[in-house]
Structure formats: C-alpha cells, structure tokens
Amino acid sequence: MHRIVTVATCLSILLAPATARSQPAETIYHGGTIHTMNRAAPRAEAVAVANGTIVAVGRLADVQTLADGNTELIDLHGATLLPGFIDGHSHFCSALDYLTQAICWSPPAGDCQSVADVIAKLRELQKQRQLGPGKFVIGFGCDPDLLAEKRMPTRQELEAAFPDNPVILVHVSGHLAMLDGKALAHFGITRDTPPPAGGLLPKDPGTGEPTGLLAETAFLPVFAGMPSPPADELLALIPAAQQLYAAAGITTAQEGATTAAQVALLRQAAERGLLAIDVVALPLITEIDTVFGGKPPHTERDYVHHLRLGGVKIVSDGSPQGKTAFFTTPYLTGSPTGAAGWRGEPSVPQATLTDMVRKVYAGGAQLFVHCNGDAAIDMLLEAHRAAAADDPGRDRRTVAVHAQFVRPDQLERFTAYRFIPSFYTEHCFYFGDTHVANRGAEQAAFISPLKAARALGLRCTNHTDFNVAPIDQLFTVWTAVNRVSRSGAVIGPDQRVTAHEALEALSIDAARQYGEDDRKGSLEPGKLADLVILSADPCAVEPLAIRDIKVVETIKEGKTVWRREVSAHGN
C-alpha cells in the first residue's frame, strides 16, 4: 500500500527548539524546489540558517518570522536546494594523484583511445612536471578494454618511450599496473620473485622475466611505496583537491583506503585549517597498529578541524573489470593473462579475513570491507558470522563496499546482519559492457541492485570510487536511474530506482552509513547547514537529462565553499 502524503504535510514547517528559534536567521533560502530528504516532510518552501545550522524548514511565511534586518534572503530563482551530498565511497587522497599524475581515462571521462594516446599522456606529464632522468612517470586510469589494441602498453613499449625514467601505469580499477624495467628494479622485482598469495606476477615464457604486469597483492607493495611529491607540495595541493569534491556538491568526503602516511598528511592539513569540507578517513587494516598507536582500532565520533577516523578498511578481493574479483564461477573470458577456468582469488584466506574482522569488532571500530565478487561476499558473510557469533544481527553498520555482484540470497543475509551495501551503479555505464562479456548478461544485470536491496529494507549508499571514475554525483544519480552502458544497452532495467531514491543514497542514507544521520543528510532544524544548489530538479527532468544538471553552489555549515562561475553564455 502506498502512503498518501498530502501537500499540507509536505509543506508543513518543522519548528526548531525554542532556544534555536529565538535567534534570528542569518540566511533564508526560498524561491525554488527544496527537497528536504526528510521522509516526514519531503518538500518545503524555505530553509533558514544561523550559526552553521538549520533553524527552520517549512512554509516561507513561517520561516520568514525568523528574519530581521540583517537576514539575507536568497532567492533560488527556480533552482533546487538539497542537503549537501555525502560521499559513500571514494579516495580523497586520490585527488592529489589526479593533480600530479597522468590521467589516462578513455571517453567520455578522458580521451585515451589507443596505446599511443596513453603514452602521449605520460609524455605530457613528464614535460609538465619536468621529470628528468631517474624520476618516476606515473599514470592512472588506463582501461585496456576501451583501447583500440584491447591491451595496456607493454613493458617494452614503456621502456622505449621513456628510456631514462621508471614508469608505473595503473589500471583504471586501481588493482593492477604495468611497470617498466626500471620501476621493477626499484621495487626489487626480478625473475626470481615469486607471485604472492592473492596476487598475479606473470613471467615471459621465453625469458622468464616479469612481463611488468602486477595485480592485487603483487601490486600492493608498489602502491604503498609509490613515489609522490614532498609533503609540503601535497599539503599545498589540498585546497585544490577538495575543490574537486566541493564542485560536485559534496560536503562530506571519504578517504576510503588510508595509509598511515596519508593519515599523517590529512592530520597536518586539518591542523593547518586547510579542510573546508568534512573528510572521513578509513585506515587500512594493515596500518591500524601504526595509526592507532598499538591500541584497539576505534571510530572517532567527532571531527577535529573537519577530519575524523571513521573506521577500518579491509580489501577482500579485486576488480571485476580487471578480472581479479573473486567469484564462485569462472570468468567467461579467462584470467588477466588468458588462463581458462579463472575465478579470481581472495586477497587473504578465510581464516585471516575472519581474524581481521574479529579484531576490528573487538576494538569497536566500524568496518568497511571491499568485496566485489560473490565468492568474496560469501567470505565476508562467513567472517562476520564467526566474529560476531554472540550477536550477528546487532547493528554495527558494517559496510560492504561495492558488493557489486551480490546474489539475492546474500542480500537477505545482509538484511539479517544489518549490513549497509555501498553500491557502485556507475559500473553500469563505465564497465557494464565489459561485465556482460566477462560474467554473462544475467549476472551483469544484477550488479549494484539498488532496487532489490531497498525492497528488503536495506539502506544503501552509492558512490563514484574516485579516482576510478570522475567525481560527479549527478552522474551517479543518472546511472542509478537509467543503468545505461557506454554502448547504450540497459544493464538490469528491473534494478532502476527513482531519482528521489537515488538521491537518498547520496544524502540521508549516506549520513546513516557514517552514523551521522542525527546531524547530516536531510534539511531539518538542528542539523548542519550542509547544502547544495542544483540548476534543475533531478526528480522533475527526463531521466536521461539528469546527467546534464549542474551544481550551482556548495555550502558547508552555512558558508559557501564552491560556486559555479557563470559565463557570458550562461554556462
């Protein structure tokens, strides 16, 4: 049965406590569409803000009673006001990589369509950053499935193009990379280096030398030790990095796999007052002894200068588009090296994963687990069952990050265990055609099943996984509503959701994921004045037009942190 919501209910004012309302409003927004994301009163005519918080929401006539001679009345002129977007999962520190590495995305995110294009991007970076002999040239975002040659540049091609530089070219998934000989030597990888458990390190059958391809646990030491600019330069880039998020309407960002060095960098940035939006950092399980000083891992409730440690991250498998995610059935197209019968591999054995989960739960930290393939999700469910045997259904807000190829029976266990799936519907567009080829049409159609999960009562979030894909929250909504691939195919039409449901995954449900729904995620008195203004209403335009909506302004605790500059042409 559908609940009937009357116009009067939708526009009813939510009055703040008398102590909050006794103070005049500093700003009142009106004159546009206002989606509160508060299910009890989803629409309003006006929102009043004072001292960084919302003090009233409802009818304009009522909200205006809080105005005095100093109140700024902001006419939205038909634009749409929403709670600021909350990032379900991405890698905030990757914004620094975005500013210092060669970005080798293919259309429409970038323009690399061939191996030559990728090498040209690397050369541009070398010239721009004046990387002389011996300096690393690093690129990110290469998707071999979208290049004319259907492969990444080889080790030999990189060596020929950069005879004096070590080169690292990271796959679009971030889970594997191609290295040239100098980079391999830098990390001590030789013909005698064995492939680690859970990783790929293929050798040339003729010479026995590494081909340069490293995947998963074979790539992790390279990822952790990848050269980067000095700390002072990175700190100087923090404001520009966070503008990438603010420009997308994000007021709370995630650093979703944080090393100890990155925690230290973010703490410095926070102490220096460089953070204007909130950042939730998730230290990797391998880093927690250093990050938490040998004490049990814990979740920080409060932000310190816009930064808090929000939990612990575990990576349990790899990437479906990189063919390293762990499945119960084989890939139709074989392994990354072409081997038949390949199902992928877990990052760690079941016993190790269970011990990791038990350690996080024992310390009281919130747990975030990267799992893509259904076999990896089985492992997470078993680890949770064993580690939380005393009360597996207690609401720990454990987050299954991506959970893309979750099965219907696994969704039911998510419900029983009160998991939060953070889906990734952008895969429908960016990699949907690849998933159909690798996994078959039926399994691909159920990736990131927002509709099925919501039907079971699960409060799902959605994300970009930047820098795997660009930061664009409206595009995230577009993919959840339309589920259209690059080729124009619809990937799982029965899993489409409405625009309002898609927006909930970026606002109130995302706030709940972090345990912050008492202060963020909806426009209600007493909550932070984290707001975003859009050029149009995602719930009112044609579904395929959602991606064309622009962020006009992003407001954090009542202060503008980003505003679109309008050109003479109105763009």
Predicted confidence (pLDDT) per residue in 110-119, tens digit: 999 999 999 9
pLDDT at residue 568 greater than cutoff 80: no
- Model confidence pLDDT, tens digit, residues 241-253: 999 999 999 999 9
| CATH 1.10.3720.10 given to domain 94-224 | no
pLDDT bin (cut points 50, 70, 90) of residue 571 is: low
> Please, are residues 325 and 373 in contact by the beta-carbon 8 Å criterion?
yes
To the nearest whole percent, how much of the chain has pLDDT over 70?
Answer: 95
Hey, CA dihedral for 72, 77, 82, 86, is it positive or negative?
A: negative
- Model confidence pLDDT, tens digit, residues 162-204: 999 999 999 998 889 999 999 999 999 999 999 998 899 999 9
- 3-state helix, strand and coil shares in percent for the chain, rounded to the nearest 5: 30, 20, 45
pLDDT value, residue 267: 98
Structure tokens at 174: 């971030």
Length of the chain (residues)? 571
Tell me which CATH homologous superfamily contains domain 283-521.
Metal-dependent hydrolases (3.20.20.140)
Rounded Cα distance, 382 and 183, in Å: 38
Return the higher-pLDDT residue of 12 and 343.
Answer: 343
Q: Are strands 461-462 and 367-371 parallel, antiparallel or unpaired?
A: unpaired
Residues of the chain with CATH 3.10.310.70: 94-224
Rounded Cα distance, 371 and 393, in Å: 20
- Model confidence pLDDT, tens digit, residues 396-423: 999 999 999 999 999 999 999 999 999 9
Rounded Cα distance, 110 and 92, in Å: 20
pLDDT bin (cut points 50, 70, 90) of residue 22 is: low
Q: What's the mean pLDDT in 59-72?
A: 96
Q: What residue has token string 């019968």?
A: 341
pLDDT value, residue 6: 32
Out of 2-11, 269-278, 420-429, 472-481, least confident range: 2-11
